């Protein structure tokens, strides 16, 4: 069945995920949706020093928002911050250095952030695709640690702060690649069998969709959404998927096009009118499963994922320094 999923997904991608797909979809966009002033609202963007994260942060800054950039590499992050401030004239840009593959570090950051700042919108953009199985210092497989557990801890740790805010939102940047994966809770750290970084990444992205759906049920005062940015020309795509990039580079979306739906979900009034927990592509909610792909999971598996992530989360919280 995997060949069917992969083939259908790739054909769908050629039609919808490329620059041409964006140009076609954008004919139906309402520009006024994102022509808004968000001064006084606070946004946190992970992975904000390049690619879709930086493009999103820059557009929010242009609209007057206070933007917290959460990045792993201090030097690159400082360059990105300076660029955003210079291009937008917005001085309310703050930098936080956090490794999203280190759960103890995320807890320490979130606890400090909750005491010092307000937050209206969390944008979980940081991610990685490591093509060989690597373990973090905590013994976690790196893709899982960053894409799934890191996203889980950052979100759950900041939910208490978001619950105090007006029009609170959480947006997670997933991938259409998740359409080729059925949730698999039997091997969350990909320790069994051959390791395929692309498929591990896709599984993590399926997990993000499930997490979003579960959070939406649990936290009714916060608007949750998850989205696919399309196939965009970003540093991450160039470094992690060189063969794909070489084949598709002339058809890839720009970073700004990839970030468009993130921005729309973060600032527009229209996005908040739609139900919480949906998966978006080009400003529209779309299906989370391909027809006949058999990727639906039983509810107990989805609940089990959240239980396991909570167990991991609490384990690292209990030994968090500071």
The residues annotated as belonging to the active site are 201
CA nearest neighbour of 81 among 124, 125, 49? 49
Beta sheet of 121-124, edge-to-edge order: 93-97, 66-71, 42-46, 121-124, 168-173, 222-227, 278-281, 284-285
Residue 124 β-bridge partners: 172
SS3 75: helix
| Tokens matching residue 135 | 């373990």
Label residues 274-310 b or e (16+ Cβ within 10 Å = b): eebbbbbbbbeeeebbbeebebebeeeebeebbeebe
Closest by CA to 152, choosing from 94, 208, 217, is: 208
Please state whether 282 falls in left (phi above 0), alpha (psi between -120 and 50) or beta: left
Interior/surface letters 244-268, b for 16+ CB within 10 angstroms, e for the rest: ebeebeeebbebebbbbbbbbbbbb
């Amino acid at each position: 069945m995997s060949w069917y999923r992969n083939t259908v997904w790739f054909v769908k991608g050629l039609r919808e995920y490329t620059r041409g797909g964006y140009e076609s979809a954008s004919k139906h966009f309402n520009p006024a949706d994102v022509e808004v002033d968000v001064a006084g609202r606070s946004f946190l963007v992970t992975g904000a020093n390049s690619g879709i994260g930086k493009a999103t942060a820059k557009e929010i800054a242009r609209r007057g928002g206070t933007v917290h950039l959460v990045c792993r590499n201090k030097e690159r992050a400082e360059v990105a911050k300076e660029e955003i401030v210079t291009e937008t004239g917005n001085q309310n840009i703050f930098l936080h250095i956090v490794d999203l593959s280190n759960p103890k570090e995320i807890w320490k950051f979130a606890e400090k952030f909750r005491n010092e700042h307000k937050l209206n919108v969390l944008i979980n953009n940081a991610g990685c695709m490591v093509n060989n199985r690597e373990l973090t210092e905590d013994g976690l497989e790196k893709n899982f640690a960053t894409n799934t557990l890191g996203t889980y801890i950052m979100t759950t740790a900041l939910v208490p702060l978001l619950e105090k805010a007006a029009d609170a939102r959480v947006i997670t940047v997933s991938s259409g690649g998740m359409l080729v994966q059925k949730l698999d809770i039997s091997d969350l750290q990909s320790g069994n069998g051959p390791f395929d970084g692309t498929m591990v990444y896709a599984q993590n992205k399926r997990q993000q969709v499930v997490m979003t759906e579960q959070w939406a049920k649990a936290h009714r005062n916060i608007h949750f959404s998850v989205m696919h940015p399309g196939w965009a020309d970003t540093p991450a795509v160039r470094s992690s998927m060189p063969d794909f990039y070489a084949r598709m580079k002339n058809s890839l979306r720009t970073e700004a096009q990839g970030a468009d739906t993130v921005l729309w979900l973060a600032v527009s009034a229209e996005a908040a009118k739609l139900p919480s927990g949906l998966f978006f592509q080009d400003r529209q909610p779309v299906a989370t499963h391909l027809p006949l792909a058999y990727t639906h999971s039983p509810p107990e598996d989805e609940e089990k994922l959240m239980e396991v992530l909570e167990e991991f989360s609490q384990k690292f919280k209990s030994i968090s320094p500071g």
